[in-house]
């Protein structure tokens, strides 16, 4: 990694994970999620693209988090002063995308309950309370 005259590493040149590590992580996560959704009968081939984008978003969040942790949330401007690290906005965007996609795919438990209700009742929602027995 090259440094400038003051010993600073150029922004964005820090790579917390190798390309191989990222590829392996994405493949493993994709396979886990696909199996998970297939077990619940909630996977269709059309979901492959959504799943791919979701996995990319999660990978981006991990990568951005590692870079921000190393470089700090505030970075020095070239002419003095500080500013918020630009990867924070990208991390938030990736987080928002992953939340939207997890909703569509039914990955979070809250979304699964809603989707399961729609599947069981033909889209109208489930009127039965699954926790009624605990009252």
Domain boundaries along the sequence of the chain: 19-105
This prediction has a pTM of 0.66
Of 51, 54, 59, the C-alpha closest to 34 is 51
Tell me the average pLDDT across 104-124.
60
Neighbours of 133 (CB within 10 A): 6
Q: What is the mean pLDDT of residues 32-58?
A: 87
Per-residue pLDDT at 124 exceeds 50: no
pLDDT at 105: 83
Residues in the chain: 135
- Confirm if 33 and 73 have CB atoms less than 8 A apart: no
pLDDT at 100 over 60: yes
Residue 56 pLDDT: 94
């Amino acid at each position: 990694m090259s440094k400038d005259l003051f010993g600073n590493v150029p922004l964005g040149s820090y790579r917390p994970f190798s390309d191989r590590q990222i590829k392996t992580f994405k493949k493993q996560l994709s396979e886990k999620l696909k199996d998970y959704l297939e077990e619940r009968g909630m996977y269709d081939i059309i979901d492959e693209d959504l799943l791919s984008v979701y996995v990319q978003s999660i990978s981006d969040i991990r990568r951005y988090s590692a870079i921000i942790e190393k470089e700090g949330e505030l970075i020095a401007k070239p002419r003095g002063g500080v500013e918020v690290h630009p990867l924070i906005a990208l991390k938030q965007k990736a987080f928002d995308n992953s939340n939207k996609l997890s909703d569509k795919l039914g990955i979070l438990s809250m979304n699964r309950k809603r989707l399961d209700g729609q599947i069981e009742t033909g889209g109208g929602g489930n009127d039965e309370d699954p926790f009624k027995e605990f009252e």
